Structure 1
């Protein structure tokens, strides 16, 4: 088979231990044509130094998923986000001659741009400076199977009108339990998401073709053609719902989201505690997403519903938990979501 070149974009923020395990698993895949791009979202720890030490062979990664492989030093192409956005990078002329397992592009952002724009910086760099046909967004807290990328690309190439492809995602600490089969279904009436195969033991019941409403951002493959037509991730989201929005935008242009059940990864997924920061963005972005993808009449109905939900949650936080910050986060998220305007036209490549 032919092997279209893929840019694998990994976003890091204060998570170098996870990133190194992810990188080592990626460098052991069987797929021969790829470029790894690590975007550091202005980490406040020693992530940059640790990634450089790993590439120099100074850190051996321990994992229950693979045995560390000694390899030649990995050549780092290191830039700032300003450099990759504003200039033509002369070193890129030499990158094609280096084996996939022996190169890494490291882009240091000057601030935390969130999931959406952080990844967009990598996408823009890949499309401008690398001769790639696909972009893969991969969470840094994942470990991948050796054939995961081969299977993703195979599904993307051999099915019509495919916009986004996602793998079978297992829970890292429970290797045979699924987090999600590709993605999720969305109820636009209530702005609710139902992840396919959520926390189910894998007994082969999802080993078949599926078309979710969207592919989860943990691991999502998209072609250059699709990105050039529909644009990148909407940075308004910052975090949460941006993956669903991307796939829905693709669907409006006739592109499907598809689940590649032979592709497997493991995700360090857990029930993290809620914070005002997270609740603000989740509430705001839920409303913003429904507004962008529904009719005015349906959005008006949803607004009444979500106002009741928001007030109920805010009052409960205030009265029963005495948490003023969380209560305020719900209300602020609601009102900001209502007034946000659609910025999709600003994210063309």
Structure 2
């Protein structure tokens, strides 16, 4: 077990949300763990002035991408600039309590077989409710997983740390040595499913994915993309299939694609039609055709 206080690089992405990012950075100012560097990657915001972040927090490293590279691409820019032994990827639409870093660092210090760890995540609009306390396995039919404890009261029932099937991209800490062995997040997804893909790659490398409820954050959730937008419909629908193509074994992939073709695609099409959600319908079918026309996906 290590006894030092390793440098933690905190990486977050800004996209048209300087005010939101500034609120998160203000909460980071109160951290009891002081050996940190903070890196903000602006993902080529078209309707924002990210320089406001640097003006208010001159100690922060602000990197302005010339192109919107999505969740993975933006975070990868941050990784390449980071100096820390541990890298904490955190959404800009979060608020953190002062002591949330220490349990994550201690978890990784105590067990080098742990490749990534997420805290408990609670809703900012109601901190008594849980958003994430680990994940169930990815279903081979639906290509969906469930967040354990979702919308449940934070009454102590989800306070046991341990291995979990996948990580939550809103807050995840990964040792640099693991990234150097496994590689960066793949940028094929742009939005959604990339953290699950990365978690699978890290598990295949022999590491554990961990949930640590001694730490928590408050999550405002989906401010950049909207809680239910055509953009979200497109990327979740597209990337659900991309994830299966990259991570499922041949038999599981066959089962999944049969289910998508015979059940999921017809059901979603009818649902969007009945609800007259035509923009979502177009986004959904655009996602399906993307997978049909893009045969060559680099596999893990």
TM > 0.5 fold call: yes
Quick one: which of 146, 164, 172 aligns to 1:194? Answer: 146
How far apart are the structure 2 equivalents of 1:183 and 1:291?
20
- Structure 1 residue 297 corresponds to structure 2 residue 299: no
How far apart are the structure 2 equivalents of 1:31 and 1:184?
31
- Equivalent pairs counted in the alignment come to 294
Q: Which residue of 1 aligns with 2:271?
A: 316
The answer as to whether partners of 1:211 and 1:259 remain within 8 angstroms in 2 is yes
Quick one: which of 45, 50, 53 aligns to 2:52? Answer: 50
Q: Which residue of 2 aligns with 1:112?
A: 68
Q: Which residue of 2 aligns with 1:328?
A: 282
Quick one: which of 39, 42, 52 aligns to 1:40? Answer: 42
Computing the radius of gyration from Cα coordinates, the structure with the larger value is 1
Aligned-residue offset at 1:311: 2.4
SS of alignment partner, residue 47 of structure 2: coil
Aligned-residue offset at 1:273: 4.2
Question: How do 1:154-303 residues align onto structure 2 when only pairs under 5 Å count?
Answer: 154-269=106-221, 272-303=226-257
How far apart are the structure 1 equivalents of 2:89 and 2:203?
19
The answer as to whether partners of 1:162 and 1:255 remain within 8 angstroms in 2 is yes
Runs (5+) with no aligned partner, structure 2: none
Aligned-residue offset at 1:104: 1.1
Q: Which residue of 1 aligns with 2:29?
A: 27
SS of alignment partner, residue 11 of structure 1: strand
Deviations 1:84-109 (A, max 9, x none): xxxxxxxxxxxxxxxxxxx2100001
How far apart are the structure 1 equivalents of 2:85 and 2:38?
14
The answer as to whether partners of 1:234 and 1:343 remain within 8 angstroms in 2 is no
Question: How do 1:55-204 residues align onto structure 2 when only pairs under 5 Å count?
Answer: 55=57, 74=58, 103-126=59-82, 130=83, 132-204=84-156
Deviations 1:40-75 (A, max 9, x none): 0111233323213312xxxxxxxxxxxxxxxxxx3x
Describe the shift of the 1:322–1:207 C-alpha distance in structure 2 as closer, same or farther (beyond 3 A). Answer: closer
SS of alignment partner, residue 164 of structure 2: coil
The answer as to whether partners of 1:182 and 1:212 remain within 8 angstroms in 2 is yes
Deviations 1:215-258 (A, max 9, x none): 10000000111101111111100000001000001011111110
CA RMSD of aligned residues (A): 1.8
SS of alignment partner, residue 68 of structure 2: coil
The answer as to whether partners of 2:17 and 2:48 remain within 8 angstroms in 1 is no
Describe the shift of the 1:344–1:50 C-alpha distance in structure 2 as closer, same or farther (beyond 3 A). Answer: farther
The answer as to whether partners of 1:234 and 1:344 remain within 8 angstroms in 2 is no
The answer as to whether partners of 2:114 and 2:208 remain within 8 angstroms in 1 is yes
How far apart are the structure 2 equivalents of 1:344 and 1:305?
21
Aligned-residue offset at 1:124: 1.5
- Normalising by structure 1, what TM-score? 0.80
How far apart are the structure 2 equivalents of 1:288 and 1:321?
27
Aligned-residue offset at 1:2: 1.2
